[in-house]
Amino acid sequence: MAIIGIDLGTTNSACGIFLDDGIKLIPNRLGDLLTPSVVGLDDRGHIIVGRTAKERLIQHSDCTVGAFKRLMGTRHQIKLGRQSFTATELSSLVLRSLKEDAETFLQAPVSEAVISVPAYFSDNQRQATKQAAEMAGLKVLRLINEPTAAAIAYGLNDRQQGTYMILDMGGGTFDVSILEFFEGVMQVHASAGDNFLGGEDFVDAMYKAVLAELNVDKTQVPAHLEQRVLMQLETAKRRVSSEPTQTLALDFGVQQTEFSVTPEWFSSVVVPLLLRVKAPIERALNDAQLSPDDLDDVVLVGGATRMGVFRNAVGRMFGIIPSCHLDPDLVVAMGSTLQAGLLARNAALEDIVLTDVCPYTLGTGVLNHENPNAPNLLLPIIERNTTVPISIERTVQTSSDNQTQVHVEVYQGEHRVAERNIRLGELTVPVPRGPRGQEKVAIRYSYDMSGLLEVDVRVLSTGKTYSTQIEQSPGMLSDSEIARGRERLAALKFHPRELEANQVLLARAERMYEASLGDKRQAIGAVTAQFEATLERQIPAEIEAARQRFVELLDSLDVEEWF
């Protein structure tokens, strides 16, 4: 059975397979290697995923959504028309789409995968990713940290021994990893990151600055017009390094105006975001006990690292020109695919050994002996950036006379006060009565390569062991909820794959029509009507020829290339 590698991204997703001749990234039903992580409902209430859904974000913002990866691990409900979905369910729809593309490409069933996640994803978010895959009919053999995946792609591509820093900024997250490659071993020394810093935040900063400068009240801007302005700003962000001045015609409903975007304006707007880049870099270096001079190279990964301001900031920070010779949008998918090849024991990869690290400290709450009335303190059991897989045991004792149970709370984070960290779960175990301190329990945390945690608590006097896999963290779904979710998603109607090429063109034409005026609007309407008439005749050869003409005409009319 084939094992595919998947990059489940905030903005785009991709998948691949490791074949005898190396990595093969799998095209989707439209022939693209990148599938936008966007889900929507079409006019008949059918589920659409990818570019077709993305084309409808402006006109149908009430039933189309993207960037939901940031809500993974929560129970937040996201409205699509009259229906509501969790981020886990929406992610499962993207994964299902990728799975179908892989099965079409391979002409064989696909049921196992390696999926990349941000290095700084919490246990909740990792569990949610596995649950999304399960709903999509995929068994996750390994969750791999995104910068680690990128490092694998670079390390196995170049086979150059040395120490590298990977800076991975995608649409929604920023991750830093330091990795050493030597004698066939790829060892991750440290990871750090910011789960709320990505390309989307740069666009959001631009939007807020525009609203402030034009004195526009955000609450008065209709959702579909806000989405259109955001897409205009996204395009401007991508072009800002190559065009000295871009003049945008912005429509806020309450106000229509022109706005000029210059490199100087953009740089000033995003300074606070660039300053946030520095902290994870410094933390990773400190944890790895390295200085910038110890690095052989700095590698950029993720679409947002294409921004000139980001590359310039990194260059100034390290005094070097960072590397980016692999496609930053696809390199994580390449690394995930390589990891899938490793798990499949592909002969071409049999000499490679990979290690990773735990990105957060994991511990339990214990009594503050200096001030028993104060909140419990965190007892670290597995410290952040410990090489995994790892299993560590710490012994604690009862804190009061005649105590009959020990309550073990599991936390993830760096704060000395236990409750100021993320609470992952709990386990209560019975102990024999006795004086304070007589009964002792050994708490063992085991953390695997997928970043998932098991907790064992052993009562030393009785020898009994109690265990939990921390599967019911806040925001997590129970087994029955996963089963119900799978049944619910299976019952949804999906837009037919074979019709999607036509659907995405019609959605694009609709977007262009609403954004245009005068002769251009009439021209778009005319070519759309001609294409719709051809579709009505249902003659495949005519539709194929008409589709090609339609694409060429839309390309000639679409002077603002949003996507």
Same domain, residue pair 308 and 444? no
Residues 6+ apart with CB under 8 A from 158: none
Same domain, residue pair 16 and 117? yes
Q: Which of 21-30, 136-145, 490-499 has the lowest mean pLDDT?
A: 490-499
Residue 249 pLDDT: 92
Same domain, residue pair 254 and 390? no
Average pLDDT for residues 129-134, to the nearest whole number? 94
Dist. CA 96–CA 75, nearest whole Å: 21
Same domain, residue pair 288 and 427? no
Tell me: pLDDT of 116 over 90. yes
Residue 349 pLDDT: 61
Residues 6+ apart with CB under 8 A from 559: none
Q: Where are the alpha helices (DSSP H) in 240-352?
A: 263-269, 271-288, 308-318, 331-343
Same domain, residue pair 203 and 179? no
473 lies in some domain: no
More confident: 450 or 248: 248
Give the model confidence (pLDDT) of 40-59 as tens digits: 998 888 899 999 999 998 88
More confident: 483 or 167: 167
Angle between helices 500-515 and 540-557 (to 10 degrees): 30
Residue 324 pLDDT: 85
Same domain, residue pair 318 and 382? no
Residue 337 pLDDT: 95
Pick the closest to residue 302 from 339, 327, 271 (CA basis). 327
Q: Which of 60-69, 345-354, 454-463 has the lowest mean pLDDT?
A: 345-354
10 Å CB burial of residue 76 (0-12, 13-18, 19+) is middle
Write b or e for each residue in 529-554: b if 16 or more Cβ atoms lie within 10 A of its Cβ, otherwise e: eebeebeeeeeeeebeebbeebeebb
More confident: 195 or 411: 411
Average pLDDT for residues 197-205, to the nearest whole number? 95
488 lies in some domain: no
**Total of domains in the chain:** 4
Confidence of residue 287 (pLDDT cuts 50, 70, 90): very high
Same domain, residue pair 316 and 382? no
Confidence of residue 562 (pLDDT cuts 50, 70, 90): very low
Angle between helices 331-343 and 146-158 (to 10 degrees): 80
487 lies in some domain: no
Same domain, residue pair 512 and 502? yes
522 lies in some domain: yes
Dist. CA 278–CA 282, nearest whole Å: 6
Confidence of residue 282 (pLDDT cuts 50, 70, 90): very high
Give the model confidence (pLDDT) of 336-379 as tens digits: 999 999 888 766 565 667 788 888 899 999 998 878 888 999 99
Count the neighbouring beta carbons within 10 Å of the beta carbon of residue 436: 12
Residues 6+ apart with CB under 8 A from 25: 14, 15, 16, 33, 330, 333, 334, 337
Pick the closest to residue 481 from 88, 144, 165 (CA basis). 88
Average pLDDT for residues 496-508, to the nearest whole number? 77
Count the neighbouring beta carbons within 10 Å of the beta carbon of residue 454: 15
Residue count of the chain: 563
Q: Which domain holds residue 390?
A: 362-463
Same domain, residue pair 148 and 117? yes
Same domain, residue pair 420 and 539? no
Residue 560 pLDDT: 45
Same domain, residue pair 84 and 221? no
482 lies in some domain: no
- Please say which residue of 250, 271, 292 terminates a domain: 271
Tokens 């992580």 locate to 37
3-state secondary structure of 14: strand
Which tokens hold the place of 199?
A: 């390309």
3-state secondary structure of 141: strand
Cβ distance 154 to 164 under 8 Å?
yes
222 lies in some domain: yes
Dist. CA 419–CA 409, nearest whole Å: 10
- Please say which residue of 357, 373, 403 terminates a domain: 357
Average pLDDT for residues 448-462, to the nearest whole number? 87
562 lies in some domain: no
Task: For residue 139, give the CATH number of its domain.
Answer: 3.30.420.40
Task: For residue 447, give the CATH number of its domain.
Answer: 2.60.34.10
Average pLDDT for residues 85-110, to the nearest whole number? 96
Average pLDDT for residues 311-339, to the nearest whole number? 92
- Please say which residue of 221, 254, 271 terminates a domain: 271
How far lies 433's CA from each of 368, 439, 461, in Å? 22, 8, 11
Residues serving a catalytic function are: 7, 69, 146, 168
Radius of gyration of the CA atoms of the chain, in A: 26
Dist. CA 358–CA 293, nearest whole Å: 25
Residue 479 pLDDT: 66
Average pLDDT for residues 446-453, to the nearest whole number? 80
Average pLDDT for residues 182-210, to the nearest whole number? 90
86 lies in some domain: yes
The dihedral through the CA atoms of 19, 25, 31, 37 has a sign that is positive
Give the model confidence (pLDDT) of 136-195 as tens digits: 999 999 999 888 888 888 776 555 788 999 999 998 889 999 988 887 788 889 988 898
How far lies 119's CA from each of 190, 284, 385, 442, 484, in Å? 10, 12, 11, 29, 30
Same domain, residue pair 436 and 539? no
